[in-house]
């Protein structure tokens, strides 16, 4: 992928929604923002990691806050590019490119809009390989790099710059500011030179999102695209069921909740519980864990195979839940400490999804 044009946006939004494990912002709103920016400013050039200059800066862009709020409090153009614009003026070094901080529904598309507006390329990579709810949950942090400066902007025209002690303090301070800003804001942190980005970032995730979106869009048979997806990504089918209960609340700047499902088709007579904090983090079938963070748990519409965010889970909806292995960076001791199930308060130890599924793995 050399350029991102209008024609790429739908596929990127679909694929990023799946990789975002139910979080990362509203893909529909994000796609409209990126579409408007490309129509106004032109296509966005795409850089691969090896094309980055070692000394030039890369700015990761993303939204922070509860999806329940950001879905109704849509960001303006100034809010999207404001943090990057402020930091571009702050750093003496040249800014070479924008990068998604995560591959999530909206947070893969807002950086495209920002790059178009600022006339900068976008890097075909991100710092999570999925979406996570907290800002220190990035591969830079796993390698010991800390954000030295953070910029935020809101819908009222406020712009804030602060200098956190480390990534954990960056999350605490940014979350408090987001609360004051109405529950959602746009943010740039983890600004590093190309040399560091090449060391830490997860490569090719925008291209992967586009490929996933194309597969789910172009295949007409209900089960074929999901089967191809699981084969491509070494994934597992966890459960096919109907939602019989959903809880969702905004707490501490996050959308937290749980959904329970009764099985249909091959899972008739079984139950699945999904727990989420912006993103889907834990899946239990009949009380037994079948997948957990940092592996990816994804909800697909049973009829179409299209990915669903935690905001659009609804009572009575028929869902196909799948799981994908996370990037190896998250399966390290540090990765599990930072984003494993115990960090979120779930009293279970992380086990790779392929170990949990074992002989129970289902091939469509």
The confidence score (pLDDT) of residue 68 equals 60
Is a pLDDT exceeding 80 seen at residue 116? yes
The confidence score (pLDDT) of residue 232 equals 85
Closest CA to 273 of 258, 294, 263: 258
- CATH T-level assignment (fold) for domain 3-205: CV3147-like fold (3.40.1610)
Closest CA to 123 of 191, 215, 223, 224: 191
Give the span between the Cα atoms of 203 and 200, in whole angstroms: 9
pLDDT digits (tens, 9 = 90+) for 133-169: 999 999 999 999 999 999 999 888 899 999 999 999 9
pLDDT digits (tens, 9 = 90+) for 63-102: 887 666 666 666 677 778 889 988 988 888 899 999 999 9
Residue range 170-185: mean pLDDT, rounded? 90
Domain boundaries, the chain: 3-205, 223-358
- In whole angstroms, how far apart are CA 148 and each of 58, 161, 193, 202, 287? 14, 11, 12, 21, 43
Identify the bridge partners of residue 245 per DSSP, sorted by sequence position: 260
User: What six digits make up the tokens of 144?
Assistant: 């010991």
Tell me how long the chain is: 364
Q: How crowded is the C-beta side of 182, counted as CA atoms within 13 Å?
A: 18
Identify the bridge partners of residue 300 per DSSP, sorted by sequence position: 307, 320
The secondary structure of 264-287 as a DSSP string is: -GGGTT-EEEEEEESEEEEEEETT
Higher local confidence (pLDDT), 160 or 223: 160
Residue range 10-20: mean pLDDT, rounded? 95
Instruction: Name 122's Cβ contacts closer than 8 Å, sequence gap at least 6.
Output: 4, 44, 45, 46, 47, 97, 98, 99, 100, 111, 112, 115, 206
CB 107 within 8 A of CB 31: no
Residue range 261-276: mean pLDDT, rounded? 95
User: What six digits make up the tokens of 169?
Assistant: 């303090």
User: What six digits make up the tokens of 295?
Assistant: 């592996």
List the CATH code of the domain at 223-358: 2.40.390.10
Closest CA to 353 of 271, 260, 239, 197: 239
- For all residues of the chain together, what is the average pLDDT? 91
- In whole angstroms, how far apart are CA 4 and each of 31, 34, 38, 113, 197? 12, 10, 9, 11, 21
Find the Cα–Cα–Cα–Cα dihedral 317, 320, 326, 331, rounded to 10°: 90
């Amino acid at each position: 992928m050399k350029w991102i044009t209008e024609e790429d946006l739908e596929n990127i939004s679909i694929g990023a929604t799946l990789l975002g494990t139910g979080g990362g912002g509203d893909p529909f709103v994000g796609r409209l923002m990126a579409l408007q920016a490309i129509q106004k400013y032109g296509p966005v050039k795409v850089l691969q990691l090896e094309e980055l200059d070692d000394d030039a800066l890369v700015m990761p862009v993303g939204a922070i806050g509860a999806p329940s709020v950001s879905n109704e409090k849509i960001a303006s153009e100034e809010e999207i590019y404001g943090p990057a614009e402020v930091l571009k003026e702050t750093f003496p070094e040249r800014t070479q490119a924008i990068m998604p901080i995560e591959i999530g529904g909206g947070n893969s598309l807002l950086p495209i809009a920002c790059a178009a507006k600022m006339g900068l390329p976008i890097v075909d990579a991100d710092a999570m390989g999925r979406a996570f709810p907290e800002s220190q949950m990035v591969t830079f942090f796993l390698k010991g790099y800390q954000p030295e400066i953070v910029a935020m902007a809101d819908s009222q025209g406020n712009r804030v710059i602060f200098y956190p002690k480390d990534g954990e303090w960056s999350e605490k301070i940014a979350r408090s500011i987001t609360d004051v800003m109405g529950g959602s804001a746009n943010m740039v942190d983890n600004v590093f030179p190309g040399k560091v980005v090449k060391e830490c970032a997860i490569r090719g995730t925008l291209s992967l999102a586009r490929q996933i979106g194309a597969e789910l869009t172009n295949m007409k048979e209900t089960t074929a695209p999901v089967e191809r997806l699981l084969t491509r990504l070494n994934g597992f089918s966890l459960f096919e069921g109907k939602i019989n209960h959903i809880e969702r609340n905004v707490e501490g700047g996050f959308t937290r909740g749980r959904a329970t499902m009764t099985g249909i088709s091959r899972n008739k007579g079984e139950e699945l519980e999904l727990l989420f904090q912006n993103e889907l983090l834990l899946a239990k079938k009949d009380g037994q864990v079948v997948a957990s963070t940092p592996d990816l748990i994804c909800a697909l519409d049973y009829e179409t195979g299209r990915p669903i965010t935690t905001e659009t889970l609804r009572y009575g909806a028929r869902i196909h839940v799948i799981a994908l292995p996370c990037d190896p960076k998250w399966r390290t001791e540090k990765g599990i400490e930072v984003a494993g199930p115990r960090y979120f308060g779930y009293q279970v130890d992380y086990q790779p999804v392929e170990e949990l599924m074992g002989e129970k793995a289902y091939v469509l």
